[in-house]
Amino acid sequence: MTPLQAIFFDIDDTLYSTSEFARQARLNSVQAMIAAGLKMSPDDCYKEYLETIEEFGSNFSSHIDKMLLRIPSERYDGVNPAVIVAAGVVAYHRTKALGLLPYPDVTEVFKLLAKTELIVGITTEGLQIKQAEKLVRLGLLEYIDPRAIFITDQIGIGKTNPKFYQRACVTLKLSPKHCAQVGDNPLKDIDPPKKAGLLTFLCRRSGKYLTTQGQTQPDHIVNTMWDVLEILRTTYNIEI
């Protein structure tokens, strides 16, 4: 068995439930906007919110502002629209401060991995500050090698491109065959790194990619981080 020297983790729906967090944060924003004077039913407001996100993309920074432009002004007649926007934004960020937490097993497994000789890294897609903020809020930075955080926005290569994973390996001066990727999306966390020569762990825990099929089979399928740890012990002889 090829000795393993580094293991990279996706963030979203791998280290925490991105889908559930986003749903709850948006629902809280809707409730706050209605409480601030927006005259819409929660269902109609939530639907408009989701349509705005779909049309402008999840990384757009002003979804609520755009949403208010889309609806008739009489829906917030007599109320300063800036107050409604602020109420929604504050509710979203309050949810982020209180509810953006790692899966229960993640922190314990990262603590154990940090004690091994493995380089523990991150390979994630998104805006660099937004993704870095997630790592800070999740409380995982102390267990991650600071040289091994790779964000698509920062590198200029998307996760569907094997070059993204090749760049991570080259930066750490490691051969891809000595590295592994753990993630939830077969199209970004399995197919490209396998093409680049990495070992792959498909995490089937939650999120929107549970039924997505890739073009290649992962080397391992796991449900929890404890599963990852057990495979590292038994298959790759990592002393943990």
Question: 114 and 68 in one domain?
Answer: no
Q: Which of 99, 116, 147 is the last residue of a domain?
A: 99
Question: 110 and 60 in one domain?
Answer: no
Decide if 120 is inside a domain: yes
Decide if 219 is inside a domain: yes
- The single-letter code of the amino acid at 225 is M
Q: Which whole-number Å values give the CA distances from 91 to 11, 49, 53, 59, 183, in the listed order?
A: 23, 14, 17, 18, 29
Question: 186 and 69 in one domain?
Answer: no
By residue range, what is the domain housing residue 54? Answer: 19-99
Decide if 31 is inside a domain: yes
Question: 52 and 79 in one domain?
Answer: yes
Tell me: pLDDT of 141 over 70.
yes
- Give the pTM: 0.88
What's the number of CA atoms in the CB half-sphere (13 Å) around residue 183?
A: 31
Question: 163 and 66 in one domain?
Answer: no
Q: Which of 99, 115, 148 is the last residue of a domain?
A: 99
Question: 182 and 91 in one domain?
Answer: no
pLDDT reported for residue 99? 83
Q: Which of 99, 118, 149 is the last residue of a domain?
A: 99
pLDDT tens for 60-76 read 889 999 999 999 999 99
Question: 163 and 105 in one domain?
Answer: yes
Question: 122 and 57 in one domain?
Answer: no
Question: 116 and 174 in one domain?
Answer: yes
pLDDT tens for 178-231 read 999 999 999 999 999 999 999 999 999 988 898 899 999 999 999 999 999 999
pLDDT reported for residue 203? 96
Question: 12 and 93 in one domain?
Answer: no
What is the three-state SS of the chain? CCCCCEEEECCECCCECHHHHHHHHHHHHHHHHHHCCCCCCHHHHHHHHHHHHHHHCCCCCCHHHHHHHHCCHHHHCCCCHHHHHHHHHHHHHHHHHHHCCCCHHHHHHHHHHHCCCCEEEEEECCCHHHHHHHHHHHCCHHHCCHHHEEEHHHHCCCCCCHHHHHHHHHHCCCCHHHEEEEECCHHHHHHHHHHHCCEEEEECCCCCCCCCCCCCCCCEEECCHHHHHHHHHHCCCCCC
CA–CA distance, 105 with 37 (Å, rounded to integer): 41
Question: 203 and 94 in one domain?
Answer: no
Instruction: Count up the domains in the chain and report the number.
Output: 2
Question: 136 and 95 in one domain?
Answer: no
Whichever domain contains 144, its CATH number is 3.40.50.1000
pLDDT reported for residue 116? 96
